[in-house]
Chains A and B, each alone.
Chain A
Amino acid sequence: MSEPWEDEPEGPVRKFMYVNRRAPYGTIYALESLEVVLIAAAFEQDVSLVFMDDGVYQIKKGQKTEGIGVKNFSPTYRALEGYDVEKLYVEKESLESRGMTTDDLVVPVQVFDKDQLAALMEEQEVILSF
């Protein structure tokens, strides 16, 4: 039996962008952003995910969280492909200023500089920033 909140609404496909700006731990924004993305996937909208600022750490390889007693939820990003969430972007400047490359990330991404990202944001209809 489906719960009432699981019913999918009728409506047009819109361009949704989720912008992840914060470190994965320290606050709950990154985890609860991922929860939105997973639920939203069922609505078959045109979804893009952006990782910028400290948000690039959300998809960094080798997260070990035992020391802080918090669940490591980074493997969940690898499941996004199975939900047809395949448009993942990382801001070039954020990645480089943290000494990282795409080899450090748990998922394949497209690297866009800030001007390219700005243009992509311009195309969106709904932007949720976490």
Chain B
Amino acid sequence: MKLSILVNEGPYQHQSADSAIQFTKAALEKGHEIFRVFFYHDGVNNGTRFAVPPQDDRNITDQWTKLAEEYKLDLVVCIAAAQRRGILDENEAKRQGKDGNNIAPGFRISGLGQLIEAGIQSERLVIFGD
């Protein structure tokens, strides 16, 4: 089945990021296709490479990055939500006159249209969050 995933909550604060990773991994291992993973609301915080969780804890962003590398996943962070919360790629940092960027490898920043497209193109949109 062709699926897309929507992650609406930030990492660590809420279990939805962990659940989304576990679901995505399980779906891929069962041979399902993941058309896109979209990050919205505080979910965009999944995409910062500047988070440094304690070493004996999981690193949620690294888990996404590794999953994206292994399965060529499309991880998309919403640009409007990202701008509010300080998640920037090189282009956005330049555009907004900021002195650095923090997007993690495997993630890209794009618009809400990518979420709607995921809803149109996928057989199921599976949502993680409250």
The interface of chain A, by Cβ under 8 A from chain B, is 3-9, 11-12, 14, 16, 28-29, 32, 35-36, 39-40, 42-43, 45, 125-126, 128-129
Contacts and interface: CB of A to CB of B under 8 A. Distances in A.
Nearest to B113: A5
A40 B116 contact: yes
B81 interface: yes
B34 interface: no
Contact of A11 (B41, B110, B121, B125): B121
Contacts, number: 61
Interface range for B: 20 to 34
A39 B4 CA distance: 18
B120 A14 contact: yes
A31 to B, nearest CB: 10
Contacts of B111: 3, 5-6, 39
Given A32-B40, A32-B81, A11 B112 contact: no
Contact of B127 (A11, A14, A32, A128): A128
Interface of B: 6, 40-41, 79-81, 84, 110-117, 119-121, 125, 127
Nearest to B4: A126
A11 B111 CA distance: 18
A11 B120 contact: yes
Contacts of A42: 113
A87 B1 CA distance: 30
B13 to A, nearest CB: 13
